[in-house]
Structures are given as C-alpha cells and as structure tokens.
Amino acid sequence: MIDNDRSASRVYAINQTDGSLKCDLSIGVTTDYYDTLSLRSDGKLVTRREQPSTASVVEILSTANGALLSSTTTDNNFPAFASELLTDSNNGVLVPNSVFNNHGSVDYFNSTLTPKWKLLQSGGDFRFSNIIQDESGYIYGSRFTGPVNGVTTDVFALVPWTIATATSTNHRTVNFTVTTTMAATNPLTGNDNQGQLVLDDGTKVALAYQSTDSSGVSTWTATYTYPSSAKPKGVHTYTVELGQSNVQTDVVTHFVSAPAETNNTGLTLVDSYDITDNGQSVFHQ
C-alpha cells in the first residue's frame, strides 16, 4: 500500500489475518514519492519511485521487512501522467515512460533489474501507457501523441523477436534465407529496419527484405560469392544481425549506419554453412 502525505511518502504492508503492520518503508521528507506497486510471483514487491527533478527509480522490496533488495533508474515520468509498471511471468518489469516534449519509451528489465530492451520514440510529446501482456508473451499498449505532434492515440502490440536461418551453397556462392518476426519497418514510426550477415572473415552482407506472411513472419535474403582468389572450402560460421528501428537492446550489432534510435543494438544469431570441393549443393538448416 502507498501513502503519500505532506511529511513523507511510504510503502507499507498489512497482515491480512489481523490487520497488523508488517513493514513500513518511508522515503522521508523529500519531493520523491512512490507512485505505483506490483507484486511479483516470488512474493517480492516492485515499486516505482518518482524523482521529479531527475530519473525515476524502480525498486524491488522484501515484503517481509521492507528491505531494499535492488534498484535501477529509468526515464523521469511527466508528473501529469500516472506512473505504471507491469511484472511478467519471468518476474521481469515493463516500465512505460513519458518525458514531456522529448520522448516516450517502454523499458524492460529482467528479474534482477538488468536492462534488456527499450522501445523509444524521440522528438516530441509521446506517451506509452496501458501496458498489458498475454500468456503468449505478446505485449499490448497505447501510444498518445501530444499537441506538439498532433493529437493521436494508437494501440500497438509487441511480439517476441525471433530469428531462424537456412543456407544453400553452390561452389563459391552461398544463398542465405533469414526468417524473423521483425518487419521491414517499425509500424509505430515508419522507420526502416535492417539486417546483415557478418561472415567469419569480417565481410558484411546486407539482407534484403522479401515478404511477410499472414502469421507475421518476414523473409530476408542475401547471396554472397567468394572471390576467385579465395579458398573457401570447409565449414564457415556467420552471424545474423538484425536492427529494429526505435528498439534498443543489450546485444551489440555492427551496422555501418544503424537503424534509427537503436544505438547499434538489436538481435543476433550465429550459424554455419559448409562449402565442399565437389560442386554439390549442400543444404543446412
């Protein structure tokens, strides 16, 4: 339970059987205040503490004694908007934010409050809110665009990001097929997404978007032919790198010019292909 009065902001827990006070955690006399709570499946309490002049703080508290177990900072939330947070089945935390006339975002932290990914839209009055998650891991929410950018409200869905690969070789030529839930563009912003292959000799090969099927899975392809001076016979590893505009993750990518607002991060997968010396095609999946 949250209690915000003139002397202090506090979180306290009450014993359900007799109404006695189990714990009482007070910030003290300050402009900070607790704004929302969520109970994890392991019994720990997740709180969001607003610091109006700086960043918001997400905290994990013990419900036994109110002890602070871990914390992390996230974007400062515009005071006129109610704060939110959502815990998922893995005890991760989803935190939507709105920094007035600057940007809006949704942050995801794992169970130890390590940042894993962020959905970000900068350059205006954007508010992400009403975040929910279904049993399949799909995340739903709304985006409000304020007067500076023309008032609109959108409903969006975030699906689990996946990669699968297949290759075929013919002498020195390798054909790559990548299937992924990443579309050609970010539907919220219209910014282009990108894909590339990084071969084991450092060569980068751009992936070209082909199509998206009715289930939302997109196909990207590339072809690479080794130069005549190379001797590519053998097994080679390569890395698929995907960059989704306006999404930042904890996985580094190596695009020469990365998609918008990614900080050159995204999703990667390592796979291999085999080039034989007898000219026969080899399929690997």
pTM for the model stands at 0.83
What domains appear along the chain, each with residue ranges and CATH number? 2-158 (2.130.10.10), 163-284 (2.60.40)
* pLDDT-derived band at 280, boundaries 50, 70, 90: very low
- For residue 193, the 8-state DSSP code is P
Report whether 196 contacts 206 (CB < 8 A): yes
User: Which pair of tokens denotes residue 156?
Assistant: 């969006």
Residue type, 92: G
* pLDDT-derived band at 66, boundaries 50, 70, 90: confident
H or E segment at 195?
strand 194-199
Can you tell me the mean pLDDT for 37-44?
Answer: 87
Can you tell me the mean pLDDT for 212-226?
Answer: 96
- For residue 263, the 8-state DSSP code is S
| pLDDT tens by residue, 45-55 | 888 877 766 67
Report whether 114 contacts 60 (CB < 8 A): no
- For residue 102, the 8-state DSSP code is T
Least confident range of 15-29, 221-235, 247-261: 15-29
Task: Report the share of the chain in percent with pLDDT over 90.
Answer: 47
